[in-house]
Amino acid sequence: MEELRIGVFICHCGLNIAGSVNVKALVESCKDVEDVVFVADHRYLCSKDGQEFVYNKVKEENLNRVVIAACSPKMHEHTFKSLLSDVLNENYVEIANIREQCSWVHTNATDKAFDLIRMAIARLRFAKPIEKRRFKPIQSVLVVGGGIAGITTSLDLAKMGFDVYLVEKEPTIGGNMAKLECIFPTMDCSMCVLSPLMSEVFNDPKIHVLTNTEVVGVEGHLGNFRVRVKRRARFVNENCTSCGLCSEVCPVEVPNEFDCNLSKRKAIYIPFPQAIPPYYIVDPFSCVGCKLCLSVCDPNAIDFTQKDEELEINVGAIVIATGFKLYDGERIKELGYGLKGVFTSLEFERLLSRLDLRGKRIAFVLCAGSRDEGHKRYCSGVCCMYSIKQALMAKERGAIPYVFYIDVRALGKNEDFYRRALREGIVFVRGRVAEVREGLKVKFENTLLNKVDEMEFDYVVLALPIVPNLPFDVPKDEFGFGLSIHPKLNPVESFSRGIFLAGCCSSPKDIYESILSAHTCAIEVSKLLKGEIELEAKFARIKENCIRCGICKEVCVFNAIEGNVKDGYRVVEEVCRGCGNCSAECPVNAIEVYPSDEEIFARVENCGGGVVGFLCDWCAYNASDVAGRLKMSYPKEFKAIRVPCMARVDVKHVLKALQYADGVLIMGCYVKDCHYSSNVHALRRIDELRKYLKKLGLEDRVEVVHLSSTEGEKFVKAVREFVDRIYSRRG
């Protein structure tokens, strides 16, 4: 077994540390700690001279573990691990935070600084080397969904040099945007914007457009996905010239889906004139087999021998751009959907160019199911603007539009668009519509006049909630939208690494926002696939004592554990993010993660008493650093242990801490902001533990606190109140 030779380097940081820590005394104390063979101090360890001093001493003294006692690891952990990378494994370098969590928040902080250094030394005794792995990803991408987001992503990726497979379940690309007459706030013709992009995608040699196709299975991981798609037969080949004679002779008429079933199409048809691919298609469910179309097709483009086929595509990443659909108006019976003259906003868009609106009174009902506990609690974001757009279009055609609203949400420059509607005489009525009855009598509460009123209209248009059209098997939020890793820091990558979310599948967006998210997706995919991919070095490992209970697989939000009871389980290293939740859930300690149980126990056993805080690496630890930078003091009894996520905290960690400390604070992200979406499992475990501790009268010795990374003041308040409560009760 390797002899431990631990070196401790203590920084003065000018007077930032040395002003409240007796560095010389600290050096002498550290010399007496077991396994420490070298201790030195330096005025500025992070300076060029300081780094050279550390590097040279590590080599001269043959050190195989190093503690840097200085500022927060958030500042210079990478600096020192990189500095020593050719002589020490990165897991053999530990930062003791004696500035932000010690000298800046306490006076006479020498004793606590020593405790923090001893905790760092103790961890290194159990540290194991972390080996990084790299691999070359497949240089192609699957884009699922051919709306504006999917089209934009595909074009961007193709220009970056990637092969792109654009899969669309409908016979044409274009998505919902193709159904719009114009777009706000510019009032441009929708197809004038979209049609050139559709043609560009179709003609790009790097983009393989697969319409009438659906994804039926995905295996693999980031860099190497194996995707099975089912391509349904069109029964029309590329000889088609789109002359339309086949459709003219077809005797069958059925509702036209592209027109929201408000018009008819034939059994052989093209969805709309600018459809891409520009070929007709046979609907096998409505075709009666008369084959009249064959008799008029000179190019021999119609081929009834075509079969559905299943293809396998290998790609390095997947972008989901499956768009949205509207909430079912039938579920809001009180608003009259189904009555003659009551339309959804998308239906009305398709009818706008056909209806004679002169002198017609039109009611636009906003929040028709949105911001409603009985239907969809969220705001769909774009309804106000597209309803105003439709009201302006109707006004131009001679209609008298009324917009019934709760609040008009016109973000940014859209405020000018709203003001334009006011100038042009659109009538805005503040109040929720309660009922739409026969005769299109609209009953509503006018909240400005504080009265219930009723008006009669010729048409009623319901701005229904946008709901996700996400058949894909990815983690979803409570509303069914694709769940991104973080709504602000990483809004386009899903929790399944290598799978990205563009457009409305992750949240309601207008066209501008959908295009922005598509550009972002392309950039993030490119960053991942260009060159080699470096795996997360701190992924979980299943050990030989696994009893195959499968709990780890059930709780892994990243789907990083595969297998079954018969064959056993394994961690897919390329997918694991190292949150530690699986290890904390394992009933037999059969999963090893970073930091290991031994490393956590070692820190706890050397904390020197007081209160132990388990701080998640993302928000809570950052909040403690914020408190330090603001010099906000709190009791010295509090000592932090950094963990990747609150979910890493096991019941046994808390029980061990209660043997060596007087209380335990578990601090992490707010549930909705958890960077792993795993901390809900920690809350469940801690809640069960507190029930047990309550029987012993000890439940108040353990507390959970949620923080954002900027909430230094809340961090300090929580620590003060908890420590004061612990010691006031002890008398």
Q: Where are the alpha helices (DSSP H) in 327-469?
A: 345-351, 383-396, 414-423
What is the pLDDT, as a whole number, of residue 534? Answer: 79
What is the pLDDT, as a whole number, of residue 730? Answer: 61
Query: Is 104 within 8 Å of 629 (Cβ atoms)?
Result: yes
| DSSP assignment string, 683-723 | HHHHHHHHHHHHHTT-GGGEEEEE--TT-HHHHHHHHHHHH
Which H or E run includes 309? strand 309-315
- Return d(Cα 148, Cα 211) in angstroms, integer: 15
For strands 591-592 and 638-643, give the pairing: unpaired
The CATH code of domain 140-321 reads: 3.50.50
Superfamily of domain 325-467, CATH level 4: FAD/NAD(P)-binding domain (3.50.50.60)
The CATH fold of domain 1-130:
Rossmann fold (3.40.50)
pTM for this structure? Answer: 0.76
- 232-244: b or e for each residue (b if 16 or more CB lie within 10 Å)? bbbbbeeebeeee
What is the pLDDT, as a whole number, of residue 10? Answer: 98
Query: Is 171 within 8 Å of 211 (Cβ atoms)?
Result: yes
- Return d(Cα 357, Cα 266) in angstroms, integer: 28
The encoded tokens of residue 367 equal: 């929040």
- Return d(Cα 584, Cα 594) in angstroms, integer: 12
- Return d(Cα 711, Cα 420) in angstroms, integer: 41
To which residue do tokens 């239907």 refer?
375
The CATH code of domain 594-731 reads: 3.40.50
- List the beta bridge partners of residue 376: 370
Residue ranges of the chain assigned to CATH 3.40.50:
1-130, 594-731
For strands 591-592 and 93-97, give the pairing: unpaired
What is the pLDDT, as a whole number, of residue 536? Answer: 67
The shares of helix, strand and coil residues in the chain, as percent rounded to the nearest 5, are 35, 25, 40
The angle formed by the CA atoms of residues 629, 633 and 636, to the nearest 5 degrees, is: 115
Residue ranges of the chain assigned to CATH 3.30.70.20:
535-588
What is the pLDDT, as a whole number, of residue 629? Answer: 94
Tell me the per-residue pLDDT of 130-181, one tens digit each, with 9 for 90 and over: 887 888 999 999 999 999 999 999 999 999 999 999 999 999 999 999 999 9
- Return d(Cα 364, Cα 401) in angstroms, integer: 7
The segments of the chain whose pLDDT lies below 70 read: 1, 536, 730-731
CATH architecture of the domain 535-588 equals 2-Layer Sandwich (3.30)
To which residue do tokens 């969809």 refer?
376
**Would you give the end-to-end CA distance of the chain in angstroms?**
47
- Return d(Cα 229, Cα 367) in angstroms, integer: 37
